[in-house]
Structure 1
Amino acid sequence: MTSLLTRLCCSVTALAGMAAIAMSVPCALAQSAPAPVGIWDSDAGETMVVGQTCKIEANGMVGAIGSCSWNPSSDGGILTIMNVNAYQPAPVYFSIVWIDESAFSISGDVFHRRQ
């Protein structure tokens, strides 16, 4: 019984030591991509407005409009618009990939920041 307790105590001490070492090693944190706040136009004639509320329209017809949220990743993120332009409010998800500071892509459509 004594040797079991001794081994258990040594194991706990070793685990605590490894945890202390692991916590002292600096780790690289992933950079989060910024939200695409502003007014954006695509080459196909679509317009996306991102602010406290969001809107996407094509040829003057609103596709989705409502409150929005941003879930960042390292190279873009997911823009969610809680679309109130439907029978019942429902989320619409847009996977955004940044190209550079003034352009991003959604499913191959490139949007450019309006000047």
Structure 2
Amino acid sequence: RKVFEAVSGYGVPRIHFGVGTGELLGLLGEAGADVVGVDWRVPLDEAARRVGPGKALQGNLDPAVLFAGREAVETKTREVLDAAAGLEGHVFNLGHGVLPTTDPDALTHLVEYVHTQTTR
């Protein structure tokens, strides 16, 4: 909380993310961030329930999907976007960092696909 309080005056969104923190999402939601990151292990609807009202979620595509080919990436990305449709706010992202051996072209395709499927 102290960190989020200290940066609250900068006028930028405050994001709290931790890997493997599904059981701690309620506490992350209470810590003062505007957005709570969700890894790929927790469905977005369940994450929203745990985090509580008034928070946007960030995530949660499994980064391993990027090894599965374009069709699988698009299918799984669409699932995340559909799951996010009813949320108070959502920032599409991987449900953790980029794995070291990920093909950069897979990331480029992912970003381009998300841009074609969403509006700002």
Fold match (TM-score > 0.5): no
Higher RCO structure, 1 or 2 (CA under 8 Å, sep 6+): 2
**Rg: which structure is higher?**
1
TM-score after normalising by structure 1: 0.24
More strand by share: 1
TM-score after normalising by structure 2: 0.23
More helix by share: 2
